[in-house]
Protein backbone atom coordinates (compact mmCIF):
# COMPACT_ATOMS: atom_id res chain seq x y z
CA UNK A 1 0.00 0.00 0.00
CA UNK A 2 1.38 3.39 -1.02
CA UNK A 3 0.40 6.66 0.65
CA UNK A 4 0.80 9.91 -1.28
CA UNK A 5 -0.58 13.43 -1.20
CA UNK A 6 -2.70 12.55 -4.24
CA UNK A 7 -4.26 9.46 -2.66
CA UNK A 8 -3.69 5.81 -1.73
CA UNK A 9 -2.37 3.26 -4.20
CA UNK A 10 -1.56 -0.44 -4.38
CA UNK A 11 1.67 -1.78 -5.90
CA UNK A 12 1.56 -5.28 -7.40
CA UNK A 13 4.90 -6.92 -8.18
CA UNK A 14 6.37 -10.27 -9.10
CA UNK A 15 7.75 -12.07 -6.04
CA UNK A 16 11.50 -12.61 -5.96
CA UNK A 17 13.21 -15.91 -6.68
CA UNK A 18 12.57 -18.84 -9.00
CA UNK A 19 9.07 -18.84 -10.54
CA UNK A 20 7.16 -21.28 -12.70
CA UNK A 21 6.68 -20.24 -16.31
CA UNK A 22 3.75 -17.79 -16.69
CA UNK A 23 3.36 -17.38 -12.92
CA UNK A 24 2.79 -13.91 -11.43
CA UNK A 25 2.57 -12.13 -14.80
CA UNK A 26 1.70 -8.73 -13.38
CA UNK A 27 2.06 -7.14 -16.82
CA UNK A 28 -0.92 -9.23 -17.93
CA UNK A 29 -2.88 -8.12 -14.89
CA UNK A 30 -2.23 -4.51 -15.81
CA UNK A 31 -3.37 -5.12 -19.38
CA UNK A 32 -6.67 -6.75 -18.43
CA UNK A 33 -7.69 -4.26 -15.76
CA UNK A 34 -6.80 -1.40 -18.13
CA UNK A 35 -9.09 -2.86 -20.80
CA UNK A 36 -11.93 -3.52 -18.38
CA UNK A 37 -11.63 -0.16 -16.64
CA UNK A 38 -12.09 1.50 -20.03
CA UNK A 39 -15.62 0.03 -20.34
CA UNK A 40 -16.70 0.64 -16.76
CA UNK A 41 -16.26 -2.86 -15.38
CA UNK A 42 -15.57 -2.73 -11.62
CA UNK A 43 -11.79 -2.89 -11.27
CA UNK A 44 -9.33 -0.54 -9.56
CA UNK A 45 -8.13 2.31 -11.75
CA UNK A 46 -4.75 1.30 -13.26
CA UNK A 47 -2.05 3.97 -13.07
CA UNK A 48 1.27 2.69 -14.44
CA UNK A 49 3.25 -0.40 -15.40
CA UNK A 50 7.02 -0.58 -14.94
CA UNK A 51 8.96 -3.43 -16.57
CA UNK A 52 12.39 -2.04 -15.70
CA UNK A 53 13.91 -4.36 -13.09
CA UNK A 54 16.36 -1.64 -12.07
CA UNK A 55 13.60 0.35 -10.33
CA UNK A 56 12.58 -2.06 -7.53
CA UNK A 57 14.15 -5.28 -8.77
CA UNK A 58 11.16 -6.73 -10.61
CA UNK A 59 8.20 -5.84 -12.85
CA UNK A 60 5.38 -4.02 -11.04
CA UNK A 61 2.28 -1.94 -11.60
CA UNK A 62 0.36 0.60 -9.55
CA UNK A 63 -3.42 0.90 -9.24
CA UNK A 64 -5.78 2.91 -7.06
CA UNK A 65 -6.63 1.68 -3.58
CA UNK A 66 -10.37 0.96 -3.40
CA UNK A 67 -12.12 1.53 -0.08
CA UNK A 68 -14.84 -0.98 0.69
CA UNK A 69 -15.73 -4.32 2.24
CA UNK A 70 -13.99 -7.66 1.64
CA UNK A 71 -15.76 -10.73 2.98
CA UNK A 72 -13.71 -13.82 3.80
CA UNK A 73 -16.72 -15.70 5.17
CA UNK A 74 -19.16 -16.73 2.46
CA UNK A 75 -22.15 -16.46 4.78
CA UNK A 76 -21.53 -12.68 5.00
CA UNK A 77 -21.58 -12.16 8.78
CA UNK A 78 -23.03 -8.85 9.87
CA UNK A 79 -25.35 -8.56 6.86
CA UNK A 80 -29.12 -8.77 6.89
CA UNK A 81 -30.86 -11.54 4.95
CA UNK A 82 -32.03 -9.25 2.12
CA UNK A 83 -28.57 -7.72 1.79
CA UNK A 84 -26.98 -11.16 1.45
CA UNK A 85 -29.41 -12.03 -1.34
CA UNK A 86 -28.66 -8.74 -3.12
CA UNK A 87 -24.89 -9.18 -2.78
CA UNK A 88 -24.92 -12.68 -4.25
CA UNK A 89 -27.17 -11.56 -7.09
CA UNK A 90 -24.82 -8.68 -7.88
CA UNK A 91 -21.78 -10.98 -7.80
CA UNK A 92 -23.62 -13.26 -10.24
CA UNK A 93 -24.42 -10.29 -12.49
CA UNK A 94 -20.81 -9.10 -12.36
CA UNK A 95 -19.46 -12.41 -13.64
CA UNK A 96 -22.17 -12.65 -16.32
CA UNK A 97 -21.20 -9.13 -17.42
CA UNK A 98 -17.53 -10.08 -17.67
CA UNK A 99 -18.42 -13.04 -19.88
CA UNK A 100 -20.56 -10.84 -22.14
CA UNK A 101 -17.72 -8.65 -23.41
CA UNK A 102 -16.33 -8.99 -26.92
CA UNK A 103 -12.64 -9.43 -26.13
CA UNK A 104 -11.63 -8.25 -29.61
CA UNK A 105 -13.43 -4.94 -29.13
CA UNK A 106 -11.42 -4.46 -25.93
CA UNK A 107 -8.13 -5.00 -27.76
CA UNK A 108 -7.52 -8.37 -26.10
CA UNK A 109 -7.18 -10.60 -29.18
CA UNK A 110 -3.76 -11.82 -28.09
CA UNK A 111 -4.59 -12.15 -24.40
CA UNK A 112 -5.07 -15.90 -24.77
CA UNK A 113 -5.56 -18.54 -27.41
CA UNK A 114 -9.27 -18.81 -28.25
CA UNK A 115 -10.56 -22.36 -28.52
CA UNK A 116 -9.27 -25.68 -27.19
CA UNK A 117 -9.29 -24.13 -23.73
CA UNK A 118 -9.70 -27.21 -21.58
CA UNK A 119 -7.05 -29.23 -23.41
CA UNK A 120 -4.56 -26.40 -22.96
CA UNK A 121 -5.48 -25.82 -19.33
CA UNK A 122 -5.28 -29.50 -18.44
CA UNK A 123 -1.87 -29.68 -20.09
CA UNK A 124 -0.67 -26.50 -18.37
CA UNK A 125 -1.77 -27.45 -14.87
CA UNK A 126 -0.63 -31.04 -15.26
CA UNK A 127 2.82 -29.75 -16.18
CA UNK A 128 2.93 -27.21 -13.36
CA UNK A 129 1.70 -29.84 -10.91
CA UNK A 130 4.44 -32.23 -11.99
CA UNK A 131 7.05 -29.46 -11.72
CA UNK A 132 5.94 -28.73 -8.14
CA UNK A 133 5.16 -32.29 -7.04
CA UNK A 134 6.23 -33.03 -3.48
CA UNK A 135 4.23 -36.20 -2.83
CA UNK A 136 2.28 -38.87 -4.72
CA UNK A 137 -1.43 -38.03 -4.95
CA UNK A 138 -3.25 -40.87 -6.68
CA UNK A 139 -6.37 -38.80 -7.38
CA UNK A 140 -4.29 -36.19 -9.24
CA UNK A 141 -2.66 -38.91 -11.33
CA UNK A 142 -6.13 -40.26 -12.15
CA UNK A 143 -7.49 -36.82 -13.07
CA UNK A 144 -4.51 -36.06 -15.30
CA UNK A 145 -5.43 -39.17 -17.28
CA UNK A 146 -9.25 -38.83 -17.15
CA UNK A 147 -9.80 -35.15 -17.91
CA UNK A 148 -8.34 -35.01 -21.46
CA UNK A 149 -10.59 -37.91 -22.47
CA UNK A 150 -13.84 -36.25 -21.32
CA UNK A 151 -13.65 -32.65 -22.61
CA UNK A 152 -17.12 -31.35 -23.67
CA UNK A 153 -17.47 -30.27 -27.33
CA UNK A 154 -18.63 -26.70 -26.51
CA UNK A 155 -15.96 -24.19 -27.59
CA UNK A 156 -17.40 -20.94 -26.19
CA UNK A 157 -14.79 -18.22 -25.63
CA UNK A 158 -14.86 -15.17 -23.36
CA UNK A 159 -12.67 -13.23 -20.98
CA UNK A 160 -12.31 -15.37 -17.85
CA UNK A 161 -11.08 -14.18 -14.48
CA UNK A 162 -9.69 -17.52 -13.36
CA UNK A 163 -10.17 -17.04 -9.61
CA UNK A 164 -13.61 -15.46 -9.27
CA UNK A 165 -14.51 -15.82 -5.61
CA UNK A 166 -15.97 -13.54 -2.99
CA UNK A 167 -12.71 -12.64 -1.26
CA UNK A 168 -11.30 -11.37 -4.57
CA UNK A 169 -13.95 -8.64 -4.66
CA UNK A 170 -14.40 -5.34 -2.88
CA UNK A 171 -17.99 -4.44 -2.10
CA UNK A 172 -19.35 -0.95 -1.66
CA UNK A 173 -19.03 0.20 1.98
CA UNK A 174 -22.81 0.36 2.45
CA UNK A 175 -24.47 -0.90 -0.74
CA UNK A 176 -24.85 -4.54 -1.89
CA UNK A 177 -22.73 -4.27 -5.03
CA UNK A 178 -19.25 -5.10 -6.28
CA UNK A 179 -17.07 -2.04 -6.84
CA UNK A 180 -13.78 -3.80 -7.66
CA UNK A 181 -12.76 -7.29 -8.76
CA UNK A 182 -9.17 -8.06 -7.77
CA UNK A 183 -6.41 -10.57 -8.54
CA UNK A 184 -6.46 -11.05 -12.32
CA UNK A 185 -3.27 -13.13 -12.36
CA UNK A 186 -5.04 -16.20 -13.79
CA UNK A 187 -7.22 -14.34 -16.30
CA UNK A 188 -7.14 -15.27 -19.98
CA UNK A 189 -9.40 -15.97 -22.94
CA UNK A 190 -11.17 -19.18 -22.08
CA UNK A 191 -14.42 -20.99 -21.58
CA UNK A 192 -16.96 -18.99 -19.56
CA UNK A 193 -18.34 -22.14 -17.96
CA UNK A 194 -14.89 -23.00 -16.62
CA UNK A 195 -14.93 -19.62 -14.88
CA UNK A 196 -18.50 -19.88 -13.64
CA UNK A 197 -18.21 -23.45 -12.38
CA UNK A 198 -14.99 -22.54 -10.57
CA UNK A 199 -17.05 -19.85 -8.83
CA UNK A 200 -19.63 -22.54 -7.97
CA UNK A 201 -17.02 -24.34 -5.89
CA UNK A 202 -18.11 -22.02 -3.08
CA UNK A 203 -21.25 -24.16 -2.83
CA UNK A 204 -19.40 -27.47 -3.26
CA UNK A 205 -16.20 -27.09 -1.24
CA UNK A 206 -15.68 -29.95 1.22
CA UNK A 207 -14.18 -29.65 4.68
CA UNK A 208 -10.47 -29.86 3.94
CA UNK A 209 -9.01 -29.48 7.40
CA UNK A 210 -8.16 -25.78 7.24
CA UNK A 211 -11.43 -24.32 8.47
CA UNK A 212 -14.82 -23.74 6.90
CA UNK A 213 -14.25 -22.48 3.37
CA UNK A 214 -17.55 -23.19 1.60
CA UNK A 215 -21.32 -22.90 1.81
CA UNK A 216 -21.91 -26.66 1.97
CA UNK A 217 -24.08 -27.47 4.96
CA UNK A 218 -24.95 -23.83 5.68
CA UNK A 219 -28.65 -22.83 6.21
CA UNK A 220 -28.79 -20.96 2.91
CA UNK A 221 -32.52 -20.19 2.92
CA UNK A 222 -32.33 -18.68 6.40
CA UNK A 223 -29.27 -16.68 5.41
CA UNK A 224 -30.86 -15.37 2.21
CA UNK A 225 -28.17 -16.97 0.04
CA UNK A 226 -29.36 -18.77 -3.12
CA UNK A 227 -28.73 -22.48 -3.40
CA UNK A 228 -26.48 -23.77 -6.18
CA UNK A 229 -29.29 -24.60 -8.60
CA UNK A 230 -30.97 -21.20 -8.19
CA UNK A 231 -27.63 -19.44 -8.64
CA UNK A 232 -26.94 -21.41 -11.83
CA UNK A 233 -30.39 -20.58 -13.18
CA UNK A 234 -29.83 -16.85 -12.64
CA UNK A 235 -26.48 -16.96 -14.44
CA UNK A 236 -27.98 -18.92 -17.33
CA UNK A 237 -30.81 -16.39 -17.63
CA UNK A 238 -28.29 -13.56 -17.80
CA UNK A 239 -26.08 -15.28 -20.36
CA UNK A 240 -28.77 -16.79 -22.57
CA UNK A 241 -28.04 -20.43 -21.73
CA UNK A 242 -31.63 -21.63 -21.98
CA UNK A 243 -30.73 -25.30 -21.66
CA UNK A 244 -28.68 -24.81 -18.49
CA UNK A 245 -25.24 -26.34 -17.97
CA UNK A 246 -24.53 -29.83 -19.25
CA UNK A 247 -21.43 -31.82 -18.23
CA UNK A 248 -21.34 -30.25 -14.77
CA UNK A 249 -19.38 -33.16 -13.30
CA UNK A 250 -16.58 -32.60 -15.82
CA UNK A 251 -16.39 -28.90 -14.99
CA UNK A 252 -16.35 -29.62 -11.26
CA UNK A 253 -13.68 -32.31 -11.62
CA UNK A 254 -11.59 -29.94 -13.75
CA UNK A 255 -11.86 -27.07 -11.27
CA UNK A 256 -10.96 -29.14 -8.21
CA UNK A 257 -8.01 -30.55 -10.16
CA UNK A 258 -6.95 -27.05 -11.20
CA UNK A 259 -7.20 -25.66 -7.67
CA UNK A 260 -5.23 -28.61 -6.30
CA UNK A 261 -2.53 -27.96 -8.92
CA UNK A 262 -2.42 -24.26 -8.01
CA UNK A 263 -1.98 -25.10 -4.32
CA UNK A 264 0.63 -27.71 -5.18
CA UNK A 265 2.50 -24.87 -6.87
CA UNK A 266 2.61 -23.13 -3.50
CA UNK A 267 3.93 -26.36 -1.99
CA UNK A 268 6.67 -26.37 -4.59
CA UNK A 269 7.55 -22.79 -3.75
CA UNK A 270 7.73 -23.73 -0.06
CA UNK A 271 10.16 -26.46 -1.08
CA UNK A 272 12.19 -24.00 -3.16
CA UNK A 273 12.11 -21.32 -0.47
CA UNK A 274 10.20 -18.76 -2.55
CA UNK A 275 6.68 -19.01 -1.03
CA UNK A 276 5.25 -15.58 -0.22
CA UNK A 277 1.95 -16.73 1.31
CA UNK A 278 1.57 -16.80 5.08
CA UNK A 279 -0.86 -19.68 4.56
CA UNK A 280 1.47 -21.79 2.43
CA UNK A 281 1.55 -24.72 4.87
CA UNK A 282 -2.26 -24.85 4.89
CA UNK A 283 -2.32 -24.84 1.10
CA UNK A 284 -0.07 -27.89 1.03
CA UNK A 285 -2.46 -29.81 3.29
CA UNK A 286 -5.43 -28.98 1.03
CA UNK A 287 -4.06 -30.63 -2.13
CA UNK A 288 -5.00 -34.22 -1.25
CA UNK A 289 -8.65 -33.63 -0.20
CA UNK A 290 -9.25 -31.32 -3.17
CA UNK A 291 -7.89 -33.91 -5.59
CA UNK A 292 -9.99 -36.63 -3.97
CA UNK A 293 -13.12 -34.49 -4.29
CA UNK A 294 -12.36 -33.76 -7.94
CA UNK A 295 -11.92 -37.46 -8.65
CA UNK A 296 -15.27 -38.12 -6.99
CA UNK A 297 -16.95 -35.82 -9.54
CA UNK A 298 -15.05 -37.51 -12.37
CA UNK A 299 -16.30 -40.93 -11.33
CA UNK A 300 -19.87 -39.57 -11.42
CA UNK A 301 -19.28 -38.08 -14.87
* Tens digits of residue pLDDT in 167-201: 999 999 999 999 999 999 999 999 999 999 999 99
What pLDDT is recorded for position 14?
Answer: 81
C-alpha span between 83 and 176 (Å, rounded): 6
Q: What is the pLDDT of residues 276-292, one digit of tens each?
A: 556 667 777 889 999 99
Task: Give the gyration radius of the chain's Cα atoms.
Answer: 19
What pLDDT is recorded for position 252?
Answer: 96
Nearest to 139 by CA among 251, 296, 291, 256: 291
What pLDDT is recorded for position 154?
Answer: 85
Q: What is the pLDDT of residues 70-111, one digit of tens each?
A: 999 999 999 999 999 999 999 999 999 999 999 999 999 999
What pLDDT is recorded for position 230?
Answer: 98
C-alpha span between 130 and 16 (Å, rounded): 22
Residue 17 has pLDDT above 80, yes or no: no
When pLDDT is cut at 50, 70 and 90, the band that residue 25 belongs to is confident
DSSP string, 51-109: --HHHHSS-EEEEE---SB--SSTT-TT--HHHHHHHHHHHHHHHHHHHHS-TTTTT-T
First to last CA, the chain: 45
What pLDDT is recorded for position 301?
Answer: 78
Average pLDDT, the chain: 91
Q: What is the pLDDT of residues 199-249, one digit of tens each?
A: 999 999 877 655 556 898 899 999 999 999 999 999 999 999 998 999 999
Contacts for 167 with CB less than 8 Å, ≥ 6 apart: 70, 71, 72
C-alpha span between 274 and 22 (Å, rounded): 16
Give bridge partners of residue 15 from the DSSP assignment: none
Q: What is the pLDDT of residues 147-174, one digit of tens each?
A: 999 999 988 999 999 999 999 999 999 9
Question: Which stretches of the chain are assigned E, i.e. beta strand?
Answer: 2-4, 7-13, 46-50, 60-64, 158-160, 169-171, 178-181, 188-190
What pLDDT is recorded for position 204?
Answer: 93
Tell me phi and psi for residue 8, to 5 degrees: -115, 140
Structural domains in the chain, CATH included, are 68-300 (3.90.1200.10)
C-alpha span between 7 and 64 (Å, rounded): 8
CA angle 112, 49, 23 (to 5 degrees): 45
pTM of the full predicted structure?
A: 0.89
What pLDDT is recorded for position 278?
Answer: 61
When pLDDT is cut at 50, 70 and 90, the band that residue 271 belongs to is confident
Give whole-number Cα distances, 77 to 74, 162, 222, in Å: 8, 26, 13
Lowest mean pLDDT among 18-32, 49-63, 165-179, 187-201: 18-32
Signed CA dihedral, 85, 91, 97, 100: sign only: negative
What pLDDT is recorded for position 284?
Answer: 77
Amino acid sequence: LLEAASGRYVLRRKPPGKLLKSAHAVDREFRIISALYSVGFPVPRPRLLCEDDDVIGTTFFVMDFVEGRIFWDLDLPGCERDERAAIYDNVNATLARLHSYDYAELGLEGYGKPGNYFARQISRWSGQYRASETQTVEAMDALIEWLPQHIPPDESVSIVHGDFRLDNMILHPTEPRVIAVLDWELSTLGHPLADFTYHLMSWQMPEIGIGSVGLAGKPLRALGIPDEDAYIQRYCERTGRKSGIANRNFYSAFNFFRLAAILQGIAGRVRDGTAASAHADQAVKAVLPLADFGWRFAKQG
